[in-house]
Amino acid sequence: MKFTIYGSGCAKCKQLTANAEDAAKAKGIDYDIEKVTDTNAIIDAGIMRTPALAIDDEIVIEGKVANADEIQKLLA
């Protein structure tokens, strides 16, 4: 499974990354994390608000820091 975190690298982006990792570990899922910090790449992905999370290239969260439980529900 691939998580892509879109954002500037701020504290919210780091928290979203940690929450995604916690959710995957709780489910026992192998994962890779890619961080996209380039503004043009974020815009090209169609993201208007950061932080954002994509799971296997599908944007599932935009403009908020989802907690690990919310992300686990997306993994089900």
Among the options 1, 2, 8, 10, which is catalytic?
10
Q: Looking at 3, 4, 13, 52, which residue is catalytic? A: 13
Decide if 10 is catalytic. Answer: yes
φ, ψ for residue 25, nearest 5 deg: -65, -40
Please say whether the beta carbons of 34 and 5 come within 8 A: yes
Residues listed for the chain: 76
| Residue 6 is among the residues annotated as catalytic for this protein | no
Active site amino acids: 10, 13
